Amino acid sequence: MAEQRTNRGMDFRARLSGPPILVDGGMGTELYARGVYVNRCFDELNASQPDLIAAIHTDYLHAGAEVIETNTYGANRYKLAPHGLIERVVELNRLGGEVARGAVERSGRDAFVAGSIGPLARRLAPLGITSIAEAREAFKEQAQGLIKGGGDLIIVETMVDPTELRTAVEAVREVTDLPLIAQFTLTDWNETAYGATIERMASELSALEVDVIGINCSIGPNKLLEAAKRLIELTDKPVSIQPNAGELEWVEGRLFCKTTPEYFAEYARRMVLAGVKIVGGCCGSTPAHIRAMEAALRAVAPELSRVSVAVQAPEVARPAPAVEERPYRELSPMAAGLEDRRFMFSVEVNPPRSPAVKKLLERVRELKAHGVDMINIPDGPRASARLSAMILSHLIGREVGVDTILHYTCRDRNILGIQSDLLGAEALDIDNILCVTGDPPKLGDYPMATAVFDVDSIGLLRIADNLNHGLDLAGNPIPRGTTFHLGCGANPGAVDLDLEIDRLHRKLENGARYVLTQPVFDGELFFRFLDRVNMPNVPFLVGILPLASYRNAEFFHNEVPGMQVPASIRERLSSIEDSDKAAQVGVEIAAEALERSAPRASGAYIIPPFGRTELAIGVIELFRHSDYGQERLSIETRAASCPGHTETQNDQLKG
């Protein structure tokens, strides 16, 4: 067991180099909300009501927390003494760890257990009568119990006295080398209650053997965001922030925090963008707050989706289909083109913000005239309210006669609505569906809207693929299966590439037949990604973004999750003041990126900014006149003129 916990500690330290980490929320205020009054010893509930503690842990795990803290914040000899429990310090800490560990194992989630150690509630000498040696023994005693309970790491939190915090850290280090997070708490004027500044606390902690330093409790997310930015400037260590859900208030005899989950989540997003590595909640934060934070973090770091799925479509055994499965090329014109190894062009067209579609359909006709094979239709991009993507997809197919790729998100529908929509898409003859998780409402025009996220893109693919196999959500046969050509997204520039590739493999295992990538500006990055994925028979449409200006490039690089615009490209645009010239250079940059990436791509997924489809046409024309574009067109022309084209031609088309 000791070796296993050591390995988990190593896992946590490795995890610190990955995407942001989400910790759970308040325990004490959550117990209070569930009927445990403040005169009880909350830490003793590990023994007398372990199911209640486990239920709270489980709710946080299902909300998306990757780290849960033990119910041991006050389980030291000084705080337990008034309850007559001074002899049970090690026992209650051990039980706290075991209850948390059991909740993790039952949940099936890959989460870490953090042993919580709070202040002793005693002033240390020379301001008080408790000696440093006595304090050190108290902290060691608590840490020993947490280690026996199976903790993966230790978190010393809510400290106001630099001396006490240093003593706690040194005591923990005497008994374990597990990862250690050390957190202090601030007043409204950005000092601890003992008058220690952020600068002093950062200096003290940076010199200690801790893995993460941070701030928790006392004040809300707005004020802690500014404190977090200051702390990041003062240390090279990862930073953690766990604010209260606003100020605690008594309302009609009950204790409340009024900060909404949506407000809380927005500040979590801002903290992560500022460089905070670990975020979570403290007093007043609930599983609802953590769930909202998880959705916001997933938008900032899409690679988090693997650890964030709250509900998955059921695993079902698939009986042999009653009717023979439709051949791949018959699923859609797109599928036929990919099977023939034609280089396919798809252009993204956003649905309008009104029912007016006449001008949009004219732009689509122009795209078709310039050889565009598919029109990509986002589903509420950036969580904005627009015309139904499904309706627009149907109108384009009916009025223009061009193939569409419908983006379908999990944000706005529960799993019942998802199945109903997919059956409707089949009835409307919509063939190509790109399954995506979707941006949370907080990013869009209506931040008060409720996000559903019953499943993520992997769960959505499973639901749609079940329908393709003639099975409904519960695994029951339906009279006729669907015939969707299912696809997914991927980010070759993801921060945690191992996680991105793992998720991509799971998407392909669950029914995806093609992949659209995030915009790529570096062909070598795209090639390295394909080598790591190692799925040569899967069609990849490389994402291409014609930048409209230097400002446009800066926005995408700094404010759009998962987007990386190389400094050389931003510098190339920085000196161009004329907007038309800047857009033309953006088209040239995009065409160069496409030419570099095309030898190993099955097509291009072009995303023109601001709906400027003429930029997409410009990229296509430049590519077709490039050396590689001419060569590719020649091979395709020869292949088309000879229906039984040879394997050699096939190999040429494959690049």
**Helix (H/G/I), strand (E/B), else coil: 474:** coil
Phi, psi of 293 (to 5 degrees): -65, -40
CA-CA distances (angstroms) from residue 278 to 168, 431, 562, 581?
21, 41, 19, 43
Which residues does 2 contact at the CB level (< 8 Å), separation at least 6?
none
Dihedral, CA atoms, 617, 618, 622, 623, nearest 10 degrees?
Answer: -40
CA-CA distances (angstroms) from residue 546 to 30, 326, 374, 382?
49, 37, 18, 19
Which residues does 288 contact at the CB level (< 8 Å), separation at least 6?
63, 261
Residue 565: predicted pLDDT: 85
206 in Cβ contact with 169 (< 8 Å): no
**Type and span of the H or E element at 180:** strand 180-184
Judging by DSSP bridges, how do beta strands 485-490 and 153-159 pair with one another? Answer: unpaired
Per CATH, 2-300 and 328-624 having the same topology is answered yes
Residue 453: predicted pLDDT: 67
Strand partners for 477: 471
Using CB atoms within 10 A of its CB, is residue 418 exposed (0-12), middle (13-18) or buried (19+)?
Answer: buried
Rounded CA gap, 249 and 251, in Å?
6
CA-CA distances (angstroms) from residue 541 to 42, 307, 491?
55, 26, 12
Which residues does 592 contact at the CB level (< 8 Å), separation at least 6?
none
Sign of CA dihedral 187, 191, 196, 200: positive
Domain residue extents for the chain: 2-300, 328-624
Judging by DSSP bridges, how do beta strands 540-544 and 514-519 pair with one another? Answer: parallel
Which residue carries 């995408």 as its tokens?
556
Rounded CA gap, 653 and 22, in Å?
45
Residue 416: predicted pLDDT: 86
Asked: is 2-300 a CATH 3.40.50.740 domain? The reply is no
Q: E strands of 313-426, at which residues?
A: 344-348, 374-377, 403-409
Which pTM was predicted?
0.55
- Chain-centre distance for alpha carbon 343: 32
Which residues does 519 contact at the CB level (< 8 Å), separation at least 6?
543, 544, 545, 556, 563, 607
Phi, psi of 191 (to 5 degrees): -130, 160
Rounded CA gap, 451 and 472, in Å?
24
What is the longest distance spanned by two Cα atoms in the chain? 94
415 in Cβ contact with 463 (< 8 Å): yes
The DSSP code for 19 is: S
449 C-beta neighbours (distance < 10 Å), count: 16
**Type and span of the H or E element at 242:** strand 239-242
Q: Which of 101, 91, 166 is nearest to 135 (CA)?
A: 166
Rounded CA gap, 168 and 182, in Å?
9
Rounded CA gap, 550 and 184, in Å?
41
Strand partners for 640: none
326 in Cβ contact with 483 (< 8 Å): yes
Per residue, the 3-state secondary structure of 33-86, as one string, reads HCCCCCCCCHHHHHHHCHHHHHHHHHHHHHHCCCEEECCCCCCCHHHHHHHCCH
Q: Tell me the CATH number of domain 328-624, given options 3.20.20.140, 1.10.287.70, 3.20.20.220, 2.30.30.40.
A: 3.20.20.220
405 in Cβ contact with 374 (< 8 Å): yes
Tokens (6 digits) for 463: 């639901």
Question: In the chain, which stretches have pLDDT less than 70?
Answer: 1-8, 246-258, 299-325, 382-383, 439-453, 495, 558-563, 637-655
Using CB atoms within 10 A of its CB, is residue 646 exposed (0-12), middle (13-18) or buried (19+)?
Answer: exposed
**Helix (H/G/I), strand (E/B), else coil: 564:** coil
Residue 250: predicted pLDDT: 44
Residue 477: predicted pLDDT: 87
Could you tell me the strand order of the sheet in which 153-159 lies?
21-22, 278-279, 239-242, 212-216, 180-184, 153-159, 112-117, 67-69
Residue 257: predicted pLDDT: 54
Tokens (6 digits) for 192: 């601890």
Rounded CA gap, 117 and 158, in Å?
9
Residue 522: predicted pLDDT: 86
Tokens (6 digits) for 225: 């965001």
Kindly provide the b/e burial profile for residues 450-479, where b requires at least 16 CB atoms within 10 angstroms of the residue's own CB: ebbbbbbbbbbbbbbbbbbbbbebeeeeee
79 in Cβ contact with 135 (< 8 Å): no
323 half-sphere exposure, CB direction, 13 A CA radius: 13
Task: Quickly list DSSP for 586-644.
Answer: HHHHHHHHHHHHGGG-SEEEE--GGG-HHHHHHHHHHHHTSHHHHHHHHHHHHHHH-TT
User: Angle of helix 287-300 relative to helix 261-274, nearest 10 degrees?
Assistant: 40
